[in-house]
């Protein structure tokens, strides 16, 4: 038994976050912990401020991670980043199938394609960052044959599929590496990808360098920071300190994500890049079937009405779209 105890203690001492490893041995054993490399952040990954408010903690890949909310810039971020190789292998294994892209995400792709169609000039250049297998760009191509379409993704498998099956030109690299790409784009799409890239400052630098003088950027992210913050405040009143120290998940937060974004943070960041017009819209949901589909459609209509009635101040869908424009 002592040998078994020492085995789990070694893992907990090696992994990030477990300041009191003895208390975590039963959990580590029951969840088959293994040694995982991870990097601890001591300041906000964007503005580098050290003044962060704790929004809870969670366990991901045998690592205890704290979700913090920067008081200076408003970014909510995971204070520990798992080794990039571990994450790369995770997404290659967990990559969604064809049904997910062609059916479940179809309402999202169709709506973003409609937006991109309205934003792109004639014969304009469009870059889909984190574009997976290219289904969004194909929805846009059906609308606009004149556009020059380029896909970026970190996954080699996804890029090969986009080239072979969709006939798209691709750039296979991490987002910060896009600063090395020559040329400028008239529309840049960041759909459900911004919260995966550890180097958030590198993302904004890439957008800055890739954007044409009259560029438009479309971003889609979950809008759950308010709910997460509210639940954390409620838990701090209702739960014990012992519970807080042993918390293993955060409600409404996906542990695969390394950030949670607010409209205020995105407006500030995009404005700083020269996008003088920034607006937000409710986003369509993943496609559902039967009664679930009817309920989702009804909810989206209600969310759009609430957004319009409040002059854009109320976005109540699980995810929202940020549309930023500059120049003419």
Is residue 104 one of the residues assigned to a domain? yes
| Structure confidence at residue 209 (pLDDT) | 96
| Residue 214 burial (C-beta neighbours within 10 Å; 0-12, 13-18, 19+) | middle
| Structure confidence at residue 240 (pLDDT) | 78
CA distances for 179 relative to 48, 175, 201, angstroms: 21, 8, 12
Tell me the backbone φ, ψ of residue 137, rounded to 5 degrees.
-65, -30
Is residue 255 one of the residues assigned to a domain? no
Residues 216 and 118 in one domain: yes
| Structure confidence at residue 9 (pLDDT) | 95
In the block, residue with structure tokens 């970026």: 152
Residues 179 and 105 in one domain: yes
Is residue 257 one of the residues assigned to a domain? no
Q: Are the C-beta atoms of 84 and 60 separated by less than 8 Å? A: no
Structure tokens at 19: 């300041």
| Structure confidence at residue 281 (pLDDT) | 94
Residues 119 and 239 in one domain: no
Is residue 57 one of the residues assigned to a domain? yes
Residues 160 and 73 in one domain: no
Residues 90 and 103 in one domain: no
Residues 65 and 41 in one domain: yes
Residues 200 and 115 in one domain: yes
Residues 291 and 201 in one domain: yes
Which neighbouring-strand residues pair with 259?
77
One digit per residue, the tens of pLDDT, for the chain of length 328 reads 566 889 999 999 999 999 999 999 999 999 999 999 999 999 999 999 998 999 999 999 999 999 999 999 999 999 999 998 888 777 766 655 666 677 778 899 999 999 999 999 999 999 999 999 999 999 999 999 999 999 999 888 889 999 999 999 999 999 999 999 989 999 999 999 999 999 999 999 999 999 999 999 999 999 999 999 999 888 888 787 777 889 999 999 999 999 999 999 999 999 999 999 999 999 988 877 776 778 888 888 888 898 889 888 888 888 999 999 998 6
Of 129, 254, 269, residue with least CA distance to 193: 129
| Structure confidence at residue 290 (pLDDT) | 74
Residues 196 and 89 in one domain: no
* Conformation bin of residue 327: beta by default, left when phi > 0, alpha when psi is -120 to 50: left
| Structure confidence at residue 24 (pLDDT) | 96
Structural domain tally of the chain?
2
Q: Are the C-beta atoms of 54 and 35 separated by less than 8 Å? A: no
Residues 284 and 146 in one domain: yes
H-state helical runs in 54-164: 84-93, 98-99, 106-119, 135-143, 156-164
| Domain housing 197 | 98-222+262-325
Q: Give residues with Cβ within 8 angstroms of 278, minimum separation 6.
A: 266, 267, 270, 271, 322, 323, 324, 325
| Structure confidence at residue 104 (pLDDT) | 79
| Residue 198 burial (C-beta neighbours within 10 Å; 0-12, 13-18, 19+) | buried
Three-state SS for 260? strand
């Amino acid at each position: 038994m002592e040998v078994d105890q020492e085995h789990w203690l070694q893992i907990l001492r090696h992994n990030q976050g477990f300041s009191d490893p003895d208390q975590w041995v039963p959990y580590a054993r029951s969840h088959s912990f293994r040694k995982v490399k991870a990097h601890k952040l001591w300041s906000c990954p964007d503005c580098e401020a050290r003044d962060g408010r704790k929004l809870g903690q969670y366990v991901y890949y045998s690592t205890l991670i704290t979700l913090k909310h920067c008081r200076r810039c408003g970014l909510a971020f995971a204070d520990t980043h798992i080794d990039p190789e571990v994450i790369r292998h995770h997404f290659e294994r967990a990559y969604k199938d064809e049904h997910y892209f062609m059916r479940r995400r179809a309402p999202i792709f169709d709506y973003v394609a409609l937006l991109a169609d309205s934003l792109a000039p004639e014969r304009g250049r469009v870059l889909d960052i984190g574009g997976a297998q290219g289904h969004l760009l194909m929805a846009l191509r059906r609308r606009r044959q004149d556009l020059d379409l380029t896909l970026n993704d970190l996954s080699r498998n996804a890029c090969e599929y986009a080239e072979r099956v969709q006939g798209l030109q691709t750039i296979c690299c991490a987002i910060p590496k896009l600063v090395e790409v020559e040329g400028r784009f008239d529309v840049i799409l960041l759909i459900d990808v911004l919260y995966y890239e550890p180097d958030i400052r590198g993302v904004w630098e890439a957008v800055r360098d890739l954007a044409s003088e009259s560029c438009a950027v479309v971003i889609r992210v979950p809008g759950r920071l308010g709910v997460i913050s509210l639940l954390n405040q409620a838990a701090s009143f209702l739960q014990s300190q012992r519970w807080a120290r042993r918390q293993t998940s955060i409600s409404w937060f996906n542990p695969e994500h390394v950030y949670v974004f607010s409209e205020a943070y995105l407006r500030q960041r995009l404005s700083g890049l020269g996008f003088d017009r920034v607006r937000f819209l409710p986003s369509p949901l993943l496609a559902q079937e039967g009664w679930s589909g009817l309920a989702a459609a009804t909810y989206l209509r209600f969310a759009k009405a609430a957004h319009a009635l409040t002059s854009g101040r109320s976005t109540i869908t699980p995810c929202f779209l940020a549309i930023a424009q500059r120049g003419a």
